[in-house]
Structure 1
């Protein structure tokens, strides 16, 4: 018999619709029920591609006895963290504060006002490794609620005060942004893994925002060699490692080891969208190939019938993690025959001992094939054989922010790699977001099957989608995208601004939680603040708007301490700072589509942080383009800073000189 989640739109909640647990969705009705029954609220937060969420569901939420205890002693709420990042942010802060670590599934127990008094992550179905069973935890908490109410209230009040005081690193720094950028490279070098590239140890995540920062620094006129070395080593190590799908493109969420060999196999839209823009801008043959593979993955695996992109592919299939992706030497022989099978095993590091579980190996491409024709044939045959395996499940909800990132990645790849169809695909995504996700002038977070969901857009949605629209303007020259970006930025400035010049992650008219979340640090995807910084800066460069420029500079100052103390978690903000310090450089290119114009465009777009608009003819609909025309019938490039433009140039050599000033 289905529970209340049967009517949910979230694929993650629908995964729990047949649980014997009497789940509620997040909302006032659940808290009212808990108050009526005088029981605590159990909050379980996860997402559909989360392996350990599945494990805890199978062990505990599908168990009749555990469910019966939950139903008698708690009101249980299930939340999709991707649909409600505001709820996730508040209670993840509580979890890390209480336990020193976080993760999903996240398990919190709340009073009737939503105040947490207990928090943790995964709990096993029986005591294991010094950890109590989930049932033991539930019994202890139910007992505390019934018999030690004063203690529960004291802990809840302490946590509420702590959560209300949060909001990222605060304080003062005397360093100016040029010094902070220099210091960031030094700080990142200290954390750089000299053996395997990337930053930190295991588990190791793709440092997408940091790579964007390093690519901008490495592309500058006085690029430090350290930035270039870290960038090149990390991009190559990830591209050749098991975290990268060597058969069909795309990247897994993270590597469980420091060497990029064994991934946690779920594939997220945001990772691939962010890595697409970095690899497309790398300027190497390997980078171009990886970027094209990411686009193939996005279009082949994540595109929805409505033209957007689904959130993720699951880590599991056939009831286990990674079975879709790994191979044994014998499996290679079965598909390819003895000679090609042995060749592929050596090329792809598939060993008898295995690099994963049960003697299977992930696929790595640690060196270029000695025979590309043979490699492409082997790759095609293995991909075809893999397609006959049980495929991982797909979370097909469309998240606004992550689709905004995908728009930006497709636009960058399309223009740099000369693949104009990528830009057309990006425009389809943009049209979907505007048509479905913008309701009465306000942005909504998610949709599914072309139907918009109820959750309001958070700050990252406004920043990422506005930035995507501005990239569409730059890629297509269509001023409608400038107008649409302006609507979203006006909403962000009106409803998310904080008194100190920064921004909250939720709007002033959003649902009130126990604390108003505000976290400026980048994690797996850009923070709301850092994504908005890029959109504000680009909009100002295209329109000359002092209001948007001032807002960007004020917001940037609120993350100076974070950038100084933890540059790994401020890469996107530091990249915005680099663009602001450089102007950013504005390039208007006008003229009929020709090989000449393409060469001017490619060179302009490779300038770090440049805002580049290309149109066929003069237009006054885009402020940066007002009065700009072709020169003597030839495409012309106008290099500007702060809307002050140099004389137009018609050759790449002259453009190089203008950009270097």
Structure 2
């Protein structure tokens, strides 16, 4: 970030202890490398000497990178970044805002200082989401999927594509839900993303468009959005066979493994730079301007998601480049960020591993990618099980998952149960349970889904992945257990079954690979819930068996 005159502290107990000892409130600045407004606020507001002196004298200033500290982000986000948040020494919320220019900051500093002098700790509050109340539970039924499928129609923008009538976010998981239910909506939205949010010079996807018609593009390119969209375009190719979607996915693979590649993994983001003034130019024109900032942080969850997308694309296309880079990411995760003996996952890697451990988002994505690795590469299920066991033992409390350990500075010791991340981990556990025949994983996935079922009528298309999960729990998931090495015709045919929710396990004939059914070498067996096919030996027989089981 830009140098300022503010004496920033790192997030942690020492900063809050200092605030308590000196009887000063905390000023928390939530920032991101890709956030242009954060850099502007550094230069114009925090760079103003008198404002900095005021902050240093009357507050304990803490700066947090929201990509490295997602649990801090979720507790204190004021609706976007930068977020400027004022806290008690105990971490409770006093007030907050987004971007503040110099005049706005002066007013807020004075107001908070006066309020602190008058009321002290009594002025703080704990947000309702952190109060510890359990979500409204219910029965997992087909009605959940039906409601969310209905929301696709209710919220679809028939004129411009995408969902909603305001800013347009890509919503890759909603697209994947729609691919099996409202395919024309999914494909129209992917086409709009390709036209408006894809960088057709350097590759990659921009974060979102600020208007309903996909204009006012915000040009940052974060890893999560790019990985998830790579997989969504690959899945569109699986369902349609349309080479245009395969070509876009191929281009996106190139972006992840080139522009965002750090040498050991995929970096966190590329910033917006000069925005349209830069991105509207061709390659030669861009070379004449200042290149956007790059964040080389290797985030565990983001890299697991990227490897998942690369493996998905490789499975559908036999692309060696995507497979090779997925293997390199998996190697970095195993060596640097995942403890193979305990399942502990560390948040990020720069020169050294750092940040929080056992963030639910990271655990979910690591479980998912190593389960997929077993299906594509023939190994990885042991890592997935070790991490899954840790997630359940440490974070599964009262029927759903906390977003991380109940410990840490500020309000990190308060329980928080985000629905979207609970769906992500439950989906990963369901895949793992099907792949290994482990009832415990399936039961926890079902219990997690049920924990949120009492509020289904409140959910919109942004939570469509919940509909995908509950549909699979109600109707079953096709699983193909392949008794061959990776790369055989039978293995390739299993991945080309037109259902992106399926589970594939290769090397299932080996004793060391835990599966509910072990096919003989050279054969495959299709399983849906308690039913299974006879062994098949050819790709045509496999496709016929899948059709018969549906």
> Could you say whether these structures have the same fold, taking a TM-score greater than 0.5 normalized by the shorter chain as the test?
yes
Q: Which has the larger radius of gyration?
A: 1
2:361 maps to 460
Mind listing any 5+ residue stretches in structure 2 that lack a counterpart?
Answer: none
The answer as to 2:35 corresponding to 1:143 is no
Aligned pair 1:171/2:136, yes or no?
yes
Are the aligned partners of 2:136 and 2:452 in contact in 1 as well (CA < 8 Å)?
no
From 374, 382, 407, the counterpart of 1:473: 374
Distance in 2 between residues matched to 1:263 and 1:22, nearest whole Å: 34
Q: Structure 1 regions of 5+ residues with no counterpart? A: 1-14, 96-101, 127-132, 219-226, 328-381
Cα–Cα, structure 1 residues 473 and 387, in superposed 2: closer, same or farther, change >3 Å? Answer: farther
Establish whether residue 611 from structure 1 lines up as the match of residue 500 from structure 2.
no
Distance 2:13 2:408 in 1: 14
Offset of residue 563 of structure 1: 4.1
What's the counterpart of residue 406 of structure 1?
306
Q: Following the alignment from structure 1 to structure 2, what is the Cα–Cα distance between the partners of residues 299 and 555?
A: 35
Q: Are 2:91 and 1:114 equivalent residues in the alignment?
A: yes
CA deviations on 1:224-259 (whole Å, 9 max, x unpaired) are: xxx112111111111122x11122321101011222
Secondary structure (helix, strand or coil) at the match of 2:303 reads helix
Give the structure 2 partner of residue 391 of structure 1: 291
Is the alpha carbon distance of 1:209 and 1:447 closer, same or farther for their aligned partners in structure 2, counting shifts above 3 Å?
same
Aligned match of 2:334: 434
TM-score, structure 2 as length reference: 0.93
Partner of residue 312, structure 1 = 269
Matched residues, number: 542
| Equivalent residue, structure 2, for 1:536 | 429
- Match of residue 154 from structure 2: 190
**Structure 1 position 647 matched with structure 2 position 534:** yes
Q: Of residues 171, 175, 178 in structure 2, which corresponds to 1:211?
A: 175
Residue 59 (str. 1) matches residue 44 (str. 2): yes
Change (3 A) 1:597 1:653: closer
Match of 1:494 in 2: 393
Query: Where do residues 273-288 of structure 1 align in structure 2 (5 Å cutoff)?
Result: 273-283=227-237, 284-288=242-246
Deviations 1:106-141 (A, max 9, x none): 111111211111111111223xxxxxx111111121
Looking at structure 1, the residues matched to 504 and 411 of structure 2 have their Cα atoms a distance apart, in angstroms, of 41
The answer for the alignment partner of 1:246 in structure 2 is 200
- C-alpha separation between the residues in 1 aligned to 2:40 and 2:108? 17
CA distance in 1, matches of 2:356, 2:349: 9
SS across alignment from 1:506: coil
Equivalent of residue 259 in structure 2, options 301, 306, 313: 301
Cα deviation, residue 595, structure 1: 7.0
Superposed CA RMSD? 2.2
Query: Larger relative CO (CA 8 A, sep 6+): 1 or 2?
Result: 2
Secondary structure of the residue that 1:249 maps to in structure 2? coil
1:630-649 deviation line (CA, Å, top 9, x unaligned): 4xxxx533111246531122
Post-superposition offset of 1:593: 6.7
Using the TM superposition, give the Cα deviation of residue 261 of structure 1 relative to its aligned residue in structure 2, in angstroms. 3.5
User: How far does the alpha carbon of each residue in 1:68-114 deviate from its partner, in whole angstroms, 9 at most, with x for none?
Assistant: 1111111111111111111121123xx4xxxxxx1111111111211
Question: CA shift at 1:625, angstroms?
Answer: 7.8
Greater CA deviation, 595-604 or 388-397? Answer: 595-604
Secondary structure of the 2:95 match is: strand
Task: Describe how 1:334-373 pairs up with structure 2 within 5 A.
Answer: none
TM-score, length of structure 1 as denominator length: 0.78
Distance 1:250 1:166 in 2: 39
**Rounded Cα–Cα distance in structure 2 between residues aligned with 1:648 and 1:548:** 26
The yes-or-no answer on 1:590 pairing with 2:483 is yes
Query: For residues 34 and 592 of structure 1, do their structure 2 counterparts lie closer, same or farther at Cα, with a shift above 3 Å needed?
Result: closer
